[in-house]
Structure 1
Amino acid sequence: MYKERASRLPGAVVWVNTPGAGGAGRVLPDGCMDLLWNEGRLLVAGPDTRAYVTGGARGVWVGLRFYPGTAPALLGVPAYALLDQRVELGDLWPAGDVRRLRDRVAAAGDPAVALEEIALERTRPCDPSLRRLVAALDAGRPVAAVADELGLGARQLHRRSRAAFGYGPKTLARVLRMQRALALARAGVPLAETAVRAGYADQPHLSRDIRELAGLPLSGLLGG
């Protein structure tokens, strides 16, 4: 069972997931990074370029999903260093600090609240242009036009995007487009209309792109 709520950290989401018996889960790319708690461990989920299959997950998982581009400032590492990875927080921060944080979460009545409080205490200011970039790409604006609006050259935008999101702005735009399409399709919008409204050339383009990013055909995702 999966539940989520808005976090007190701007743009973030707090979630709790208890995997069912048998069967693999599938985490789709969304431009985000997560701080995770599971059975006494603190981990970081880096940005994904393909679906992450969670077969064999045990126990209750608690997570804080950061708004795209904001986690690297808190973690102190660029997003590209964690691309398509799940790593122990102890690999990024001093062992003593992580041990104290693990004890704190373990002793908390609600691990989700404890995880959120840790992030709130350690959050760092982010470049405000990153939110403008995410909002513009999520609205379907072309990457070149967004770069012009932000006053950035193509190389500079790519460099900043890799540090913040783990990949370049074109990949981020593609991931956000997939998420828009899934939201429309799950709301019952016909697939041909979903393709147009999400920014695809046509329905076959939608199907190909989602299969490549998600590892399943669109029908399989909607069925799940």
Structure 2
Amino acid sequence: MAAEERGEDAAGYAERPSPVLPGAVVWTKAADPSGGGSAVLPDGCMDLLWTEGRLFVAGPDTRAYAPGAPAPGRYVGLRFAPGTAPALLGVPAHELRDRRVDLADLWSGAEVRRLTARVDAAADPAAALELLAHERADRAPAPDPLLTRVVARLNAGHGVAETAAAVGLGARQLHRRALPAFGYGPKTLARVLRLQRALALARGGLGQAETAAVAGFADQAHLARDVKELTGMPLGVLLRVDG
């Protein structure tokens, strides 16, 4: 989903850019237990999430995640830019790939209980979660700026070999650096970022052939295959579900 600020939609979802965590997005959603949760599509990101009484982490996805019927209540999340969450969380991204993990499995249980109670008691849980992450980020190592360049180049449609050369790494070196930062290798990250470019174009009304060309697919059939493999749905069905 786009990172620009927008109002709450019909499903009770809203998001805004974080002013204190570069590249991060703060989002909120009111859960509707009467229906299944919407599929979460791969985007190269990791999220720190809160719902009353629980802090947990969503790792980087390689395929659509179907959450099932959520418990009633409000959910708040921080979606971190690709490659920026592992330093803050203190765990390599590939250990969380395609997983949802309680924060107490990563940090001390006593600390997580204290932090959970703090967010639970806040008048604005979204602001409290954002402050919690900001405080943690101040004590954590800074994300590797080289990997920020990798994300920018891959998201601009450059190939993996070309990107590796541009940042001064061999292909194997880049793969080794990518796993702990993104959760998977640069080829998978490039596919996921290209998927998100295509979805943004298609949601904006561009036809599928034009979307394929602009997003960097070989052709419309290539777009259709990638969308189905990464999301489990054809593009047309996915756009109707979004709508």
Partners of 1:101 and 1:51 in 2: CA distance: 29
- Identify the residue that residue 82 of structure 1 maps to in structure 2: 96
- Identify the residue that residue 4 of structure 1 maps to in structure 2: 15
Query: Which string of whole-angstrom CA distances, capped at 9 and with x for unpartnered residues, describes residues 52-75 of structure 1?
Result: 001111221110000100000001
* Pairs within 5 Å for 1:190-209: 190-209=207-226
- Identify the residue that residue 233 of structure 2 maps to in structure 1: 216
- Identify the residue that residue 48 of structure 1 maps to in structure 2: 61
Partners of 1:56 and 1:118 in 2: CA distance: 28
Tell me how far 1:221 sits from its aligned partner.
1.1
Match of 1:166 among 171, 183, 187: 183
- Identify the residue that residue 126 of structure 1 maps to in structure 2: 143
Partners of 1:15 and 1:24 in 2: CA distance: 15
Match of 2:115 among 101, 114, 118: 101
Tell me how far 1:156 sits from its aligned partner.
1.0
Structure 1 residue ranges, 4+ long, deviating more than 6 angstroms after superposition: none
Tell me how far 1:35 sits from its aligned partner.
0.2
Partners of 1:185 and 1:19 in 2: CA distance: 27
Name the TM-score, length of structure 2 as normaliser. Answer: 0.90
Q: Secondary structure of the equivalent of 2:211? A: helix
Partners of 2:91 and 2:177 in 1: CA distance: 13
Unaligned runs of 5+ in 1: none
Match of 2:25 among 3, 7, 13: 13
1:34 equivalenced with 2:47 (yes/no): yes
Unaligned runs of 5+ in 2: 1-11
Letter matched to residue 90 of structure 2: G
1:64 equivalenced with 2:78 (yes/no): yes
Cα-Cα RMSD: 0.8
Name the TM-score, length of structure 1 as normaliser. Answer: 0.98
Tell me how far 1:190 sits from its aligned partner.
1.0
Query: Which string of whole-angstrom CA distances, capped at 9 and with x for unpartnered residues, describes residues 81-102 of structure 1?
Result: 0010000000000111111101
Query: Which string of whole-angstrom CA distances, capped at 9 and with x for unpartnered residues, describes residues 193-212 of structure 1?
Result: 00000011111110111011
Match of 1:176 among 193, 210, 216: 193
Percent pairwise identity: 65
